[in-house]
Amino acid sequence: MEANGEQYAANFSSIKEAQKRISLYIHKTPVLSSETLNAMSGRSLFFKCECFQKGCPLILYFKTSGNHAAALSLAAKLRGIPAYIVIPKNAPKCKVENVVRYGGQVIWSEATMHSRESVASKVLEETGAVLVHPYNDGRIISGQGTISLEFLEQVPLLDTIIVPISGGGLISGVALAAKSIKPAIRILAAEPIGANDAAQSKAAGRIITLLETNTVADGLRAFLGDLTWPIVRDLVDDVITVEDKEIIEAMKLCYEILKVAVEPSGAIGLAAVLSDGFRKNPAWQDSKKIGIVLSGGNVDLGVLWDSFRK
């Protein structure tokens, strides 16, 4: 697929190829719905539970969101090669534990993107390792695009899909595949106000990065990359930004009504669809059958509880 004469890092063929490669190893993730949440939102909502994706290394490698570090650790372990995982000091404890559990070697960086990248460069230099970027990589984008293939097969009538946006890998794959199958489908990004680089980038027409981020959704603090930005620019129809308190409220609803244990990042799609900004915007009144990708799989119960008490 091309736009502005530019070739994207992934396309419908690479996504179908990814699906073929991983289909032996995965089951479809279920789609859940709830009359209560439909009534609250005034739409028909369909939740694609990517958070249940199984712990197979091939899947985790190519169809992951929020588990990149653990996934690579496991994939490397099974191949008998070392994995060096650069982790910022403010990462949730459970993410670090998962890396260690799967045999990855933790290399600490400061919390800034700059520190993460310079530490990663140093590791590459010293070890001869190859960088596998968590989102700015055509293979990752293609794998995540398989979510749309499944989702539209399970719920063909979707007119809109809402996807959390961070570095843009997940939404790029979802948008590429969904718009290939169903060109008129609307793809909306959900982003925390405290890490709204995608909203700012879309408004400016170029990649904007932020000096700092401030959100409870730790999985959504990354910035768009040079491979994901063109896809987000061209294929994502708009970005809905939400407050942290809306994310926490949506996370509670996921637990109490859907019975799905998501991290804050995973619940942001529900937060978006329930937000006044979305509900009252005339532009989105015709989004009636909305798919919401529940991503992410690092539930840190300590942090969870702290956030519920805020």
Query: Which residues are at the interface with a second copy (CB under 8 A)?
Result: 30, 32-36, 49, 51-52, 54-56, 94, 252, 254-256, 258-262, 297, 299, 301, 305, 308
Question: Least separation, in Å, of the C-beta of 61 and a second copy?
Answer: 15
15 vs 32, beta carbon nearer a second copy: 32
Question: Least separation, in Å, of the C-beta of 218 and a second copy?
Answer: 16
9 vs 83, beta carbon nearer a second copy: 83
38 vs 118, beta carbon nearer a second copy: 38
Question: Least separation, in Å, of the C-beta of 92 and a second copy?
Answer: 11
The type of residue at 165 is I
225 vs 291, beta carbon nearer a second copy: 291
75 vs 141, beta carbon nearer a second copy: 75
Axis crossing angle, helix 12-22 with helix 169-181, rounded to the nearest 10:
110
41 vs 109, beta carbon nearer a second copy: 41
Whose tokens are 């590791």? That residue is 123
Residue 9 makes CB contacts below 8 A (sequence gap 6+) with 136, 137, 138, 141, 172, 227, 228, 231
Question: Least separation, in Å, of the C-beta of 122 and a second copy?
Answer: 32
Q: What is the distance between the terminal CA atoms of the chain, rounded to a whole angstrom? A: 44
Please answer whether residues 137 and 162 qualify as being in contact, where contact means their C-beta atoms are separated by less than 8 angstroms: no
Q: Closest Cα to residue 60, out of 299, 297, 300?
A: 297
Q: Closest Cα to residue 141, out of 236, 25, 18, 262?
A: 18
> What secondary structure does DSSP assign to 21-85, as a single string?
HHTTT-PPPPEE--HHHHHHHTSEEEEE-GGG----HHHHHHS-SS-HHHHHHHHHHHHT---EE
Question: Least separation, in Å, of the C-beta of 197 and a second copy?
Answer: 27
The type of residue at 45 is L
Question: Least separation, in Å, of the C-beta of 85 and a second copy?
Answer: 18
